[in-house]
A and B are shown apart, each in its own frame.
Chain A
Amino acid sequence: MRKVLVIQEDLIILKILERLVTVNHFDCKAIRSLDALTIEDQQSDFEFIITDILFEGIAPLEFVAQVQEIIPHKNLLVVTNMGQDKIKKEIFALKDITGFYAVPIDLDEIEATIQAYS
């Protein structure tokens, strides 16, 4: 089964995204911070990573760069509260970002993206 990693500090968004991914027939690993990532996870190749950018102790851009570097994946979707155009441009400047969704989000759009890429 293809795998998706969801990283969101907000428990409610985390659960909703986990559910969205699961009903779309993916195996989902949902965590609230990178600390919860196991060595096994770091070795599995995720079809999607859906992540926030606001986490303790790491700058948003650096976080995305770190995720890109340490977790093998095919697509990276950013879902965040800090969704200003300026941030969006900076995130896309990091390259290889599949999508950027600013809160409030239309979950159907994320679902469509997952279905389109998978």
Chain B
Amino acid sequence: MTEAGVLLFIQCVLAILVIYWISIAITMVYRKNRMRALERIEHTFADIVSRYLYNNEDDPLLISEINDRLKAVGIRKGNRNNVQYLIRLMIRTQRTILGENYYKLKKLYAQIPPYNASFTKISKWGWYSRARGIREIYEMNQSQYMNEVFKFQNNKNVFVRREAQIAMVVFMGWESLRFLPYLKRNITLWQQIKIVEKLYDLYPKPEMKWLKRAYKTDKLFGKKLLMRIIRKFELHTEIPFIMEHLEHPDYEVRETAIYCIQTFALSTERMDYIKDVYERVANPVQQAQLLNYIYENSDIDVDFYLRQLHGDNDELKLNVAEILWNNGHKEKVQEFYYQQYPENSNLNVE
């Protein structure tokens, strides 16, 4: 290593430093201008949508005027970033509204730019564009692209296949349960949540035929998804499906079953079954959850609680003791704790 070599190295790293300074300056200027532009687009779009949904008959808002105003704030084919921002606003609005206005919006979206931007994205190579394109298609309910989107339901990229599967629910509703619980790859908790919510918002009337068919699935995520659907739609007739899974060997399936059963109040017979399950479930955390559910949803069954007071887990025993103590059985709790000490021991109590 020579001095000249080190000097050259210093010059190189100094050059990199200068490049960073320039980048920081450019970024700051760009951000400032961009924020202003985005604000303008948002204000214009908010005004257009509100006027379109509640049009003034004396001074109607025409599509040509809408397009001119959008153009004036930079929504042009060449300006992809602005177009993308507009799409985000469109989705945000569409997701906010239901009923007749939802269809009014859909009609508006068909007449304003960006006409085919989402569809173009799904034919691109990168996962990000594809997944974004699919999301835009289902969020804006562009059902004409349904078949193109379905092709991606088993894509190797998790985001692409996730969006495609959600699209399936948006376009097919309950019938999508024909496929969903049988998918090859695992689905995330978020996907389950989103599927249930899309069903609830867009197809509020349950179609039991598809739900019951899906019960045959042996996929764990499928079982969890179905239990969440039963819970969300409060399908009392389907409670047995959840109850069946309270003793499932998989921890997470049991956890979902316990979570879902808590939505329902049960008959005495079913509650007796839950009490039996409580004694068989091997995990104390889940036992505590069940105990809480039993306590909050049934009358005090002193025999049951006294039996649990003699169990193995100290924390559960403490929970049981609290229930008995607060429900008029103080003496039973005292009796239980006193009997643990030898008869001739000197207790520090008066």
B-binding residues in A (CB < 8 A):
10-16, 18-20, 22-23, 103-109
Chain B residues within an 8 Å CB radius of A108: 99-101
For the complex formed, measure the closest distance between the CB of B88 and the CB atoms of chain A, giving whole angstroms. 11
Nearest CB in chain B to that of A107: its residue: B101
Chain B residues within an 8 Å CB radius of A15: 46-47, 49-50
- The 6 A-B residue pairs with the shortest CB-CB distance, nearest first, are A106-B99, A19-B50, A15-B50, A15-B46, A19-B54, A104-B98
Chain A residues within an 8 Å CB radius of B43: 11
For the complex formed, measure the closest distance between the CB of A75 and the CB atoms of chain B, giving whole angstroms. 20
A-binding residues in B (CB < 8 A):
42-43, 45-47, 49-51, 53-54, 56, 89, 92-93, 95-102, 201
Nearest CB in chain A to that of B93: its residue: A12
Checking B42, B53, B56, B96 against A103 with a beta-carbon cut-off of 8 angstroms, the contacting residue is B96
Beta-carbon contact of A12 and B53 below 8 Å: no
Nearest CB in chain A to that of B53: its residue: A16
Chain B residues within an 8 Å CB radius of A18: 50
Main secondary structure of the interface of B (DSSP, over half): helix
Checking B49, B51, B54, B201 against A104 with a beta-carbon cut-off of 8 angstroms, the contacting residue is B201
Beta-carbon contact of A107 and B97 below 8 Å: yes
* Separation of A22 and B96 alpha carbons in the complex (Å): 20
Enumerate 8 A-B pairs (CB-CB under 8 Å) in ascending A order. Answer: A10-B92, A12-B46, A12-B92, A13-B96, A16-B49, A16-B54, A20-B53, A103-B96
Nearest CB in chain A to that of B47: its residue: A15
Beta-carbon contact of B96 and A104 below 8 Å: yes
For the complex formed, measure the closest distance between the CB of A113 and the CB atoms of chain B, giving whole angstroms. 14
Checking A10, A16, A104, A106 against B50 with a beta-carbon cut-off of 8 angstroms, the contacting residue is A16
For the complex formed, measure the closest distance between the CB of A62 and the CB atoms of chain B, giving whole angstroms. 25
In the complex, which of the residues A14, A16, A109 has the most CB atoms of chain B within 10 Å of its own CB atom?
A16
Given A103-B96, A104-B96, A105-B96, answer yes or no on A11-B46 (Cβ-Cβ < 8 Å). yes
Nearest CB in chain B to that of A81: its residue: B96
For the complex formed, measure the closest distance between the CB of A76 and the CB atoms of chain B, giving whole angstroms. 20
Beta-carbon contact of A19 and B53 below 8 Å: yes
Beta-carbon contact of A12 and B54 below 8 Å: no
Checking B49, B56, B101 against A12 with a beta-carbon cut-off of 8 angstroms, the contacting residue is B49
For the complex formed, measure the closest distance between the CB of B263 and the CB atoms of chain A, giving whole angstroms. 9
Given contacts A104-B102, A106-B101, 18 further A-B contacts (CB under 8 A): A10-B96, A11-B42, A11-B46, A14-B46, A15-B47, A15-B50, A16-B50, A19-B53, A19-B54, A23-B54, A103-B95, A103-B96, A105-B96, A105-B97, A105-B98, A106-B99, A107-B101, A108-B101
For the complex formed, measure the closest distance between the CB of B166 and the CB atoms of chain A, giving whole angstroms. 16
Chain A residues within an 8 Å CB radius of B97: 16, 104-107
Nearest CB in chain A to that of B92: its residue: A12
Chain A residues within an 8 Å CB radius of B101: 106-108
* Separation of A20 and B97 alpha carbons in the complex (Å): 13
Beta-carbon contact of A107 and B99 below 8 Å: yes
For the complex formed, measure the closest distance between the CB of A84 and the CB atoms of chain B, giving whole angstroms. 11
